[in-house]
Chain A
Amino acid sequence: MSTKASRAAARLMISPSVILLLGWMLIPLGMTLYFSVLRFNLLMPGDNPFVGFENYRYFLTDPGFTAAIWNTLALVLGVLVITIFGGILLALLLDQPMFGQGIVRILVIAPFFVMPTVSALVWKNMFLNPVNGLFAHLFTALGLQPYDFLSQAPLASIIGIVAWQWLPFATLILLTALQSLDSEQLEAAEMDGATPLSRFWYIMLPHLARAITVVILIQTIFLLSVFAEILVTTNGGPGYASTNLTYLIYVQSLLQYDVGMGSAGGVVAIILANIVAIFLMRMIGKNLEA
């Protein structure tokens, strides 16, 4: 139905975005690719000789590399699972009639407004600290030994912190979707004697599928590059227990100032991110088809 003229106009209107994003992607990417085949350490200025794939070899055989891949996946999946399950439950709860719904909603969405750095600092010091933290006080009050979250369960702790930040986002999207559900359909099901569980399973969940997909897509994008929470709480440790790919690259390029190796790591991460992206796009593409 669109005419030739409107197609041309459309192209014209899309082009600023495309050109800017293309530049934003290609220029740093080009430089990263170029640096990744050089021996380039900021602390050792010199002529930065070409070394071929040496940086890639060192990055891929880095003792932390495999751990970083698994941790990245565990972090993304862990947070997704918690936020989607928690989000559905919260959305169902908030959808019920109650007093002061607006205030409850304000309380629930608040974590989303907190800077990752602040939330990591607060959790680390004021809650998870095994001596002065609130959990430690709680444990001792119950007569238990304080649990040392950040060294005994570093990755799980970080998953918890990140999930706390993203739970409101998932809840909001799921809640909006839930509220758009036709209530007559539910009532009809209720009349037919469907249990609440089967109503949820056969009517609500299919209706939420699209919203869940959206949550997965958006959160994955942000979760792949979780960084501040790790830097502040565990520095990727103990050992490599909470090092994800982003943090490993940070260690290489900014702690060791090895731009060559950091760039190689960046390229590897981009490739992996694209694999995830393709996978996601497939899924989303199916679910979001208009």
Chain B
Amino acid sequence: MTASIRTLLGATALCATGMAAAAETTLTIATVNNGDMIRMQGLAGDFTAKHPDIKLEWVTLEENVLRQRVTQDIATKGGQFDVMTIGTYEVPIWAKQDWLEPLDGLSDDYDAGDILPAIAGGLSIDGTLYAAPFYGESSMVMYRKDLMEKAGMEMPEAPTWDDIAKAAEAMTDVSAGIYGICLRGKAGWGENMAFLTAAANSFGARWFDMDWKPQFDTEQWKTTLTTYLDLMGKYGPPGASSNGFNENLALFQSGKCGMWIDATVAASFVTNPNDSTVADQVGFALAPDAGLGKRGNWLWAWTLGIPAGTDAPEAAKTFIEWATSKDYLALVAEKEGWANVPPGTRTSLYENPEYLEAAPFAEMTLKSMEAADPTNPTVDPVPYTGVQFVAIPEFQGIGTAVGQQFSAALAGQITADQALQNAQTLTEREMKRGGYIK
């Protein structure tokens, strides 16, 4: 498959044989090593049984490595992949550059209208879908019911940051190895900055004002960062500045965290008795707010898209339809139980009584997703879209660099003020370089 792309690109002599074997199509699929994708890989036999003429090759990589590999490949038109797993951040940017094949002409069975509107909106340009969501997520509070009970407290369904601080204090028991709250601290725009940007929204902070001027010198950002550092300093686990989603998941599953504010998809992992020592003790609540009308929860989806220039757009589309269809959800349900189906993509899933019964977190997940609004993410107006990211190409670099500063503040190497000041300076610098501000 990739061989014949190369032939098209001009290295004719080397690859002439690639064309001859066109009867069987091979799709190279790049994906993240998250649990739901690994499961998809395991169930792919169903797809190849239905489409014996399509062969699947998987490239499964850790998230950051994957992102770098696919971005580099699509931007240089390397043609290594036929289906790419990309996030809601990439899709609109790439679609605008015509790097993605539009997903039009999907079959009626597929029922594209069933995709959750908040997600579909972020993946479409002028009403055309450019990638199909494989799973979607928001963030919420996951807490230990047993520990809360022991402390004689109750978690409100829609807590404030003060409630969180109180609960964290009550649950922390360092001598027993229990830390009141676990939050992301590992630097990265998709790691600690996803949490902090979403949290900042709830404190009325924003990345840029309407003139694209960075806002880290505002009081709201200071409140955000000091609240975070305070919580983590007093009640967080050691080594928090290198904890990302996966590290925290492992901590929570092994019973070391009282609370964890993170992706809603984690709910099915922490309630799975095979992996989690606290499976039957997990409660859920909305992400906290500060009474300003926005909650600190994000909106994200991992999606499957087709890079422009692939020589098997039809086969790729067939695969994407299979992987993101209602039938796929039913297939996972049949093999692994409803609680394990990839969540957050289809309205019909949240109307399915079997799912609602099997997944105690379903209602809170849907509520959280509905509470996030990528087009209007902040208290004050902003020139960008995206809840926990800013949908401009420069954001990955800036977000990660700012994340490094906040991570350093969490590790105690610099103060909150220094971190904010550094963040402001480096963001201004990059925005100048990008030509957004003078």
Physical contact A–B (CB less than 8 Å): yes
Instruction: Determine whether A225 belongs to the interface, using a CB cutoff of 8 Å to chain B.
Output: no
Given contacts A42-B72, A42-B76, A238-B407, contact A131 B238 (CB under 8 A): yes
Q: Determine the chain A residues whose CB is within 8 A of the CB of B237 once the complex forms.
A: 130-131
The residues in B between 238 and 258 inclusive whose CB is less than 8 angstroms from any CB of A are 238-242, 247, 250-251, 254, 256
Instruction: Determine whether A146 belongs to the interface, using a CB cutoff of 8 Å to chain B.
Output: yes
Given contacts A42-B71, A151-B241, A238-B408, contact A132 B426 (CB under 8 A): no
> How far is the CB of A45 from the nearest CB of chain B, in Å?
6
Per-position 1/0 for B177-204, Cβ under 8 A of A: 1000000001110000000000000000
Specify which of A151, A240, A252, A257 lies most central, judged by the most chain B CB atoms within 10 Å of its CB: A151
Instruction: Determine whether A254 belongs to the interface, using a CB cutoff of 8 Å to chain B.
Output: yes
Instruction: Determine whether B433 belongs to the interface, using a CB cutoff of 8 Å to chain A.
Output: yes
| A49 to B239 Cα, complex, angstroms | 44
Which of B282-290, B314-322, B396-404 has 4 or more CB atoms under 8 Å from chain A?
Answer: B396-404
Given contacts A58-B433, A63-B425, A151-B241, contact A239 B254 (CB under 8 A): no
Contact of B238 with A240 in the complex, beta carbons under 8 Å: no
Q: Determine the chain B residues whose CB is within 8 A of the CB of A150 once the complex forms.
A: 239, 242
Instruction: Determine whether A142 belongs to the interface, using a CB cutoff of 8 Å to chain B.
Output: no
Contact of B239 with A254 in the complex, beta carbons under 8 Å: no
Contact of A235 with B238 in the complex, beta carbons under 8 Å: no
Contact of B404 with A236 in the complex, beta carbons under 8 Å: yes
Contact of B256 with A131 in the complex, beta carbons under 8 Å: yes
Residue of B nearest to A150 (CB): B242
| A276 to B188 Cα, complex, angstroms | 32
Contact of A148 with B410 in the complex, beta carbons under 8 Å: no
Contact of A239 with B405 in the complex, beta carbons under 8 Å: yes
Q: Determine the chain B residues whose CB is within 8 A of the CB of A130 once the complex forms.
A: 237-239
Contact of B239 with A45 in the complex, beta carbons under 8 Å: no
Contact of A235 with B187 in the complex, beta carbons under 8 Å: yes
Residue of A nearest to B71 (CB): A257
> How far is the CB of B386 from the nearest CB of chain A, in Å?
15
Per-position 1/0 for A121-142, Cβ under 8 A of B: 0001000011110001000000
Residue of B nearest to A232 (CB): B62
Contact of A45 with B97 in the complex, beta carbons under 8 Å: yes
Q: Determine the chain A residues whose CB is within 8 A of the CB of B411 once the complex forms.
A: 148, 151-152, 237-239, 241
Q: Determine the chain B residues whose CB is within 8 A of the CB of A136 once the complex forms.
A: 238
Contact of A43 with B238 in the complex, beta carbons under 8 Å: no
Contact of A63 with B239 in the complex, beta carbons under 8 Å: no
Residue of B nearest to A152 (CB): B411
Instruction: Determine whether B413 belongs to the interface, using a CB cutoff of 8 Å to chain A.
Output: yes
Q: Determine the chain B residues whose CB is within 8 A of the CB of A233 once the complex forms.
A: 242
Residue of B nearest to A43 (CB): B393
The residues in B between 384 and 438 inclusive whose CB is less than 8 angstroms from any CB of A are 393-394, 396-397, 400-401, 404-405, 407-408, 410-414, 422, 425-426, 429, 433
How many pairs of residues, A versus B, come closer than 8 Å at their CB atoms? Answer: 103
Residue of A nearest to B90 (CB): A43
Specify which of B237, B238, B393, B412 lies most central, judged by the most chain A CB atoms within 10 Å of its CB: B238
Q: How many residues of A contact B (CB 8 A)?
A: 35
The residues in A between 27 and 71 inclusive whose CB is less than 8 angstroms from any CB of B are 41-45, 58, 63
> How far is the CB of A273 from the nearest CB of chain B, in Å?
24
| A152 to B407 Cα, complex, angstroms | 12
| A19 to B410 Cα, complex, angstroms | 51
Q: Determine the chain A residues whose CB is within 8 A of the CB of B72 once the complex forms.
A: 42, 254, 257
Instruction: Determine whether A234 belongs to the interface, using a CB cutoff of 8 Å to chain B.
Output: yes
Contact of B241 with A238 in the complex, beta carbons under 8 Å: yes
| A41 to B393 Cα, complex, angstroms | 9
> How far is the CB of A288 from the nearest CB of chain B, in Å?
40
| A241 to B241 Cα, complex, angstroms | 12
> How far is the CB of A144 from the nearest CB of chain B, in Å?
12
Per-position 1/0 for B149-183, Cβ under 8 A of A: 00000000000000000000000000001000000
Q: Determine the chain B residues whose CB is within 8 A of the CB of A44 once the complex forms.
A: 393
Q: Which of A145, A234, A255 contacts B242 (CB 8 A)?
A: A234
Q: Determine the chain B residues whose CB is within 8 A of the CB of A58 once the complex forms.
A: 429, 433
Instruction: Determine whether B68 belongs to the interface, using a CB cutoff of 8 Å to chain A.
Output: yes
Q: Determine the chain A residues whose CB is within 8 A of the CB of B404 once the complex forms.
A: 235-240
Instruction: Determine whether B93 belongs to the interface, using a CB cutoff of 8 Å to chain A.
Output: yes
Residue of B nearest to A148 (CB): B239
| A80 to B407 Cα, complex, angstroms | 29
Given contacts A43-B75, A235-B186, A257-B75, contact A151 B239 (CB under 8 A): yes
Q: Determine the chain B residues whose CB is within 8 A of the CB of A129 once the complex forms.
A: 239, 247
Given contacts A131-B251, A152-B411, A241-B408, contact A255 B238 (CB under 8 A): no
Contact of A131 with B239 in the complex, beta carbons under 8 Å: yes
Q: Determine the chain B residues whose CB is within 8 A of the CB of A45 once the complex forms.
A: 75, 97
| A55 to B3 Cα, complex, angstroms | 36
Specify which of B400, B404, B412 lies most central, judged by the most chain A CB atoms within 10 Å of its CB: B404
> How far is the CB of B194 from the nearest CB of chain A, in Å?
15
Instruction: Determine whether A256 belongs to the interface, using a CB cutoff of 8 Å to chain B.
Output: yes
What are some 18 contacts across the A-B interface (CB < 8 A)? A42-B75, A45-B97, A130-B239, A131-B239, A131-B251, A132-B254, A145-B238, A146-B238, A151-B241, A152-B412, A234-B242, A238-B407, A238-B410, A239-B404, A239-B407, A254-B68, A257-B75, A257-B396
Given A130-B239, A132-B250, A148-B411, 9 more A-B residue pairs with CB atoms under 8 Å apart are A42-B75, A132-B251, A237-B187, A238-B408, A239-B407, A255-B396, A256-B394, A257-B393, A258-B397
Footprint of B on A, CB under 8 Å? 41-45, 58, 63, 124, 129-132, 136, 145-146, 148, 150-152, 233-241, 251-252, 254-258
Footprint of A on B, CB under 8 Å? 68, 71-72, 75-76, 93, 97, 177, 186-188, 237-242, 247, 250-251, 254, 256, 393-394, 396-397, 400-401, 404-405, 407-408, 410-414, 422, 425-426, 429, 433
